[in-house]
Structure 1
Amino acid sequence: MMQEIDIHALAMALAKGMTARLMLKWDGEGLSPRDFFSMEASDVAAALGITSRHSLASVRREELPERAERELTFIDRHNVRAYICTDRDYPYRLLQNYSAPPVLFTYGNGPLQSDHVVSVVGTRRPTAYGLKWCESIVEECCRQCSDIQVVSGLAYGVDACAHNAALAAGRETVAVVAHGLDMVYPAAHRQLAYDIASRGGLIVTQYPSKTQPFRNNFLARNQIIASLADATIVVESGIRGGALSTANAAFDLDREVFAIPGRIGDEMSEGCNNLIRKNKASVITGADTVVKAMGWHSADSDTATPQQAQLFPELSGEQMPVYNILKASDEPMSPDAIHIASGMNIAAVMSVLGDMELDGITVRLPGNRYSLA
């Protein structure tokens, strides 16, 4: 079934400098994507809260609908799906990132988000030690959590190992790439990309077709890899390895970061050992480390002890429906589940949950789930 896409929303999302935060601000002001193209530039800037120095201020808005039409043709022709940040099914974990992109493009039939998501990253030049533990930890995580989703970046080395281990365990895996979906980079991983997409996974990018894999794109890609997951595992990395940018992004988002320790002096363990030394990552000794730390249900474990709810919380108008939903739930809930149950905008849900956590009404549990305190 062909996806229905608002051409003006897609065109707005393609504007250079546009972010999910700005697009949601526009939507929150009661303005439509069509308004973005009909209003005066000064009024657009005022509504978005940007100055004349912002890259959006110099965008040639009249050219964007034509670009969107070309992209829509590509989307329809190649069975690509677009997730615009104002859509209900845009990944809620990603919205917690201040620089989240306004649109994601995906290829494949798998879900973009799951209850339990872990990203696995590392060097393109792993050692036998790193490959062994990457494969072991991913396969064991998949065995212990039946609904786990493994996210990585389709690169050589650790990324490819993580994807293949997830596929071997019969689990879906998501590859986030730094280019448009009209190509595969590296080209040697074309078959791996096909296997991922055809076996319940996805190829994901924030970039429209014909975008080449420029260096800076990989840093933005790493932000998405970290943001889509509840936890990030760094397998091996040099002291300046690209995987460290993913780990730092996850740490800045207050997500769990795990690192496989290595011998002192080993080049490909310097990055992991440094993360551990700086208390940015926890030592991982196996899949149990992740499953227990995240509070994920293991096939070998008992069910978790239920939380005691607060008796007499003081609630605002927006907090009341969220409180009632959590009170009626038998288990902790994700922001996305609360968003669906309440009908509230996902950004509003995240804001309310943050306020309720500060007030001691809710607690945030590992895996980005919430329950009453």
Structure 2
Amino acid sequence: MQAYAMRTLALIGFFALPLAAQEAAAENCELKIVMATYERTSSYHSDYRLAKFVKEEDWNELSKNAGASGKIYGVPVSGSYGEFKKAYNAMEQQLSESLSQDQAQQIFWTGLDKSAADAYQKCLELNVFNQLGLHIAVVEGSEDAVLLKVRWTFPGANTAIKIKWTVPTVNGEPLPTEIDPGDNFVSVARPKTGGIIVAATYNGVASEVIKIASLPPPPPIKIENCVLQPSADVCLRCEFEVNDVVTKGANSKEYACRKMPGGALISVQPLDVKISRAAGTGDCWYDVQMKGPDEKPFSVLNYSGECLDPMSASGSSKFVKPVVNGLGKASFFVEKCGSGSICRIQGKLVIEAETSAK
């Protein structure tokens, strides 16, 4: 009996010493979670903030499946990992949103599958659950809860043990105080607010520490063509690449900038515009107009004289009707173009809110 007690104390001491190493092993497995969850995170695929945690080896693998024109967590794959990170950084700067490692972890867990034979689950088996003692890791998750795998392994252990949790209840639901040798699965509800630290002990033997929190709110949705988006529901500037073929008296397509601040004046400004006419003879003339939100056209480019092909010009900024419904829109309108010739308009169109105007 005394020999058994001495062996027990020795083993307990052994478990206590490598706790930091055990934690490191669990954290190393978390590095494999991107590949384990990417195909199963469904709606979370569009959360660009997760791209911050995509390592180069992840990008190398995921880019093969996504293709050059694909996206990884809503960020363009690009031609290299450096370009991919640059694209992410630009989105983070524009939307002023990012995730901490802990916040990202909560999202990644929602895509896990405890029965999947992926790199993450294999890593847990090799580096966490293959050791003697009391071990815990998240093996599955949802928006409402995470599933913990709790394993108790001890020489000669064949009866249930009583464990003590750092938090006895979560959202009013008690955690089990008794587990069997081998694998046990414990569902832990996500806290409605804030976070909790979950760990268990048995006779001085401590498990890994798990941080469980509510999912962070979703990121702001990038407004199409917006290049200055200070918040989720406001755009201050949109830019459009224009390449339209129009005929005399016909409108080009409409260019709309969504979610501009109510009450602001907006300006529409064509930049570096080129007008190319179909082949013809005689003098050239054109009058390119634009419509603002008030639907009243105003001339931004006009010319009459010797034919030049292409003809270039830049329009001047012009303030138009104040935005009242969050939609700033403008359209090119070719009033005159030679003798009824087809014209191609190319260049850039900028729609911008003047926030200081009252």
TM-score interval (norm. to shorter): under 0.3
Q: Going by fraction, where is strand more abundant, 1 or 2?
A: 2
Q: Going by fraction, where is helix more abundant, 1 or 2?
A: 1
TM-score normalised per structure 1: 0.21
TM-score normalised per structure 2: 0.22
Structure whose CA Rg is larger? 2
